[in-house]
Structure 1
Amino acid sequence: FVNFNNPKSRTWDLALLRNAHFGLPDPETTIVRRSLVSGECLYFHYGCDGQDDRGWGCGYRTLQTLSSWLCVNGSQRSYQKLVPSLPEIQQALVTMEDKPPSFIGSREWIGTFEAALVLDHLYDVPCRILHVPGGGSELHHHFEELHHHFETHGSPVMMGGDRDNSSKGILGVCTGAQEIHMLVLDPHYYGPPLERAAVQHSGWVSWRSVGSLDHCSFYNLCLPQTAGK
């Protein structure tokens, strides 16, 4: 586990970027409504702890980002100040009997359903799974729900799909005069720690229009149901 009360227990924690989206410009000049994650979260990405998980670990990394938000911002619920490692996430799923023992040490993916199980198991935080069968073409119908989530709960959201099976962290939503947008934190970066400006310049955190999403892929979103702000 990453221990926020004793960060020296894992020195690589010190290199993780906090609030990668801070200072990112709005996607449009005219903004009708903007709802963002509240508090702080860390940017977990491929290889950030020394484990090379390229090609299979994006769901784990997004789950770690959601866990970091609970650790930093969840004191009112007496959360443990711990973020699980990849092996610990696998062990939790085996303990809950969602996965067989052979899952430990494997390179099997996890999605929003597994993330919801782990967050409930480790932090006693239930999650709502929002299923969008129509993909990017239908997601705009759920934007009021997403605005409400960020304004009420304030926690990051995990998003994944079938054809578009790359896990994404969602840190906010924005309704502009022209389009609607999602603030995406992409865990697929692999390399040494980057400064916030570099993460934003490279597009690892960026506003993406809903129209740019795959319209042939369904999407599932995991919304942690926290105690609110």
Structure 2
Amino acid sequence: MAETVLLLQNFHEKIKTKTTQGNGLLYGIPCGTTIVILGACFNNTEKLINAEAMICKLPSGVQKLGLVEVNNEANLTDFPNSCQMEFQGFILMKDIKSERIQLKKMVQHNFHTVPFNVIDSNEFNSLVMTMRVKGNFSLGVSDTGELQNCIHHLKNQITTNEWFGVKIDESENCITEKSLQNNKNSISELSVDTSSKSKIDLNLSVLEPKSQNVGDDLKSMVYTTELPLTKKQNKLCINICIDALCITWKKTAQSVFIENIKQCIINYLSLYYDAYCKEMSAMSVLKSYHFSPEPLGHPLTIIYSKSKKDDIHESEREKLHILFDLPLNQPYFRKGCSITSHNLISKTCPITNVHVGLSPSGLTNGKCVVIKRNYSYFHYMQNNFNDSGWGCAYRSLQTIFSWYLWQGYTDCKVPDHKDIQECLVKLRDKPKSFINSKQWIGSNEIAFCLDEMIGVQCEICHISSREELVNYGSKLEAHFLFNDTPVMIGGGQLAHTIIGTHFNREEGEIRFLVLDPHYIGKDDIKSIQSKGGVAWRPITFWEKNTFFNLCLPKSPKVAY
């Protein structure tokens, strides 16, 4: 039966636009005669990046499928005959000159072209189930060598234990390999909250009975692992907190479900051991961070030291960006970019990216540039706090601050009005009586607070009239392209936030994409857009006889 090959749209777009040479490994998820190619890991000899070693960071269930080659004349003429005899996977080739993409596969010692279809993330997610597997292992070891032996023994124990089980979504629904024998129902029939918008379809807790005498009373399972360790003194107890991801096809039979989970844990133990050896410190608590970068379209897991700041992992993040061919001017693997962190931000911050779906600016020519990354929209009267008439610049600061929070550049909460006032008093910019007052602030105060709170530098531009705003079209355009941060504009006693421009240099016309903090109403995107909370504005939107200040926050030097 012929294979059906599907290419994830995110990866297809990446290969289409890739103009630099490179090679690496294709990875994806096979299921019978259907194969989804998710992406590629690229080698880099200069940075000592080996794609083979990095593929373990992908969810369990994702496998190496073949090779990828991008160059100026992509063909198989230089592929060694000896490799052709042994090679069994796919080869995806991109010719940079012609922009042609081909997928080949070895069939009877010859490479044949394989047709493929492109699917988007929604289609892919409808085919698979993403599971988060959690559990704990306590190991007593005296050195790294013994840890390796213990982990090896633990892998064997997991593989051979038919009573190994999991509990689904913190419910009482527990299943073991033995209980699922010969069960041909698909895993999609397991208890899943289909209404959830989470990137995780199923949360599983690993269980194992203390003895097989527990029988079928799965509710009494208590997880414990005891290994035959030698009786040495000064043993160090290492608690391995399993937190791994597994992707499997929804039509997978439940009879092999536990096998998939076992393999997920075994893969994680290898990943954990590698991370432990890198840290070489028993005092470092290691933690899993799950990420789902939008350009990739799928999740992956990285283990970092829980206590160490992002700066310590800068080199590793750079390698990951190169490995997955991600831009270096945007963060994807900072701790604050993890799925868990973004879920927490969503709960504590208001609605995000309210400009999405807005009608065009109205200009037909020129260049349109809008910030690409997440922000939260703050406005009057949010959280039942009455700042109507004086709090617009505070709200603009909160919107700007949220941008840094969403990108993982800070783990500080978005400051409230009192936090901002206390910061300015601390800096001696304001007297103590300023705290709990209803006095407004401006662009300089926003710059002071961003510098003090999260170390962000800002550029302040003084503009004599609204007509002069046209002269700043190129500057704002460059700012949004290279910094991508929201910009505060203050004129008179009013403040607004600019998140994009549409600039026609030839005609001297410009439109500004403006977030209006004076909006009062529900945090509903339809209401916000219909009532002018976000809109494209001409320069006549601002008062004629006044001067303005622009506050342009900078993105960090090390963006990733």
1:33 aligns with 2:367: yes
Contact preservation (8 Å) 2:380, 2:392: yes
1:196 aligned onto 2:525: yes
* Alpha-carbon distance in structure 1 between the residues aligned to 2:370 and 2:345: 31
Residue type of the partner of 2:512?
A: M
Question: Does 1:127 find its partner at 2:447?
Answer: no
CA–CA distance in 1 between the matches of 2:553 and 2:512? 17
The reply on whether 1:141 has 2:471 as its aligned counterpart is yes
Q: Offset at 1:182? A: 0.5
| Mapped pair 1:108 → 2:439 | yes
**TM-score (structure 2 length as normaliser):** 0.37
Query: 2:543 corresponds to which residue?
Result: 214
From the CA coordinates, give the structure whose radius of gyration is larger: 2
**1:150 counterpart (476, 480, 483):** 480
Partners of 2:342 and 2:400 in 1: CA distance: 19
Q: What is the identity, as a one-letter code, of the residue corresponding to 2:422? A: Q
Aligned to 2:514: 184
Structure 2 residue runs of 5 or longer lacking an equivalent are 1-335
Q: Give me the CA root mean square deviation.
A: 2.2
In the alignment, residue 358 of structure 2 is paired with which amino acid? L
CA positional deviation for 1:92: 0.5
Q: Does the C-alpha gap of structure 1 residues 9 and 186 become closer, same or farther in structure 2, counting only changes over 3 Å? A: closer
Residue 83 of structure 1 corresponds to which residue in structure 2?
414
Ranges in structure 1 where 5+ consecutive residues have no aligned partner: none
Contact (CA 8 Å) 1:159, 1:167: kept in 2 or not?
Answer: yes
Corresponding residue of 1:227: 556
1:166: Cα distance to partner?
1.2
Query: For the Cα contact (< 8 Å) 2:487–2:552, is it kept in 1?
Result: yes
Once superposed, which parts of structure 1, at least 4 consecutive aligned residues long, lie more than 6 Å away? Answer: 6-10
Alpha-carbon distance, 1:116 to partner: 0.4
Once the two structures are TM-superposed, the CA of residue 8 in structure 1 deviates from its matched residue by 6.6
Look up the equivalent residue of 1:196 and give its one-letter code.
I
Kindly state the Cα deviation for residue 214 of structure 1 after the two structures are TM-superposed. 2.2
Number of residue pairs matched? Answer: 218
Deviations, residues 116-146 of structure 1 (Å, cap 9, x unaligned) = 000000010010001101x211110111110
177-186 or 145-154, larger mean C-alpha shift: 177-186
C-alpha change, 1:131 and 1:40, in structure 2 (3 Å) is same
Q: Distance in 2 between matches of 1:186 and 1:6?
A: 24
Match of 1:47 among 374, 378, 381: 381
Partner AA of 2:546 in structure 1? S
Instruction: Return the alpha-carbon distance in structure 2 between the equivalents of residues 23 and 6 of structure 1.
Output: 22
Once the 2 structures are TM-superposed, how far is the Cα of residue 115 of structure 1 from its aligned partner?
Answer: 0.3
Among all aligned residue pairs of Structure 1 and Structure 2, give the percentage whose two residues are the same amino acid: 36
What is the CA–CA distance in structure 2 between the aligned matches of 1:154 and 1:32, rounded to whole Å? 19
Q: Tell me how far apart the structure 1 counterparts of residues 448 and 363 of structure 2 sit (CA, whole Å).
A: 39
1:169 to 493, 497, 519: 497
How far residue 104 of structure 1 moved from its aligned partner, in angstroms, is 0.4
Write the distance in 1 (CA, Å) between the matches of 2:501 and 2:405.
23
- In the alignment, the residues of structure 1 paired with residue 518 and residue 470 of structure 2 have an alpha-carbon distance, to the nearest angstrom, of 25
**SS, match of residue 184 in structure 1:** strand
Q: CA deviation at 1:29?
A: 5.3
Deviation (angstroms), 1:6: 8.8
Distance in 2 between residues matched to 1:9 and 1:153, nearest whole Å: 22
Q: Which has the higher contact order (CA 8 A, sep 6+)?
A: 1
Cα distance, 1:215 vs. partner?
2.5
Matched residue type, 1:21: H
| Counterpart amino acid of residue 486 in structure 2 | P
- For residues 481 and 410 of structure 2, the distance between their equivalents in structure 1, rounded to whole angstroms, comes to 21
Q: Is the CA contact (8 Å cut-off) linking 2:528 and 2:534 kept in structure 1?
A: yes
In the alignment, which residue of structure 2 is the partner of 1:20?
Answer: 354
Tell me the alpha carbon deviations over residues 44-100 of structure 1, each in whole angstroms, 9 at most, x when there is no partner.
111212211111111101100000001112x3xx42342101110101101111111
User: For residues 58 and 217 of structure 1, what CA distance do their matches in structure 2 show?
Assistant: 17
Larger strand proportion of the pair: 2
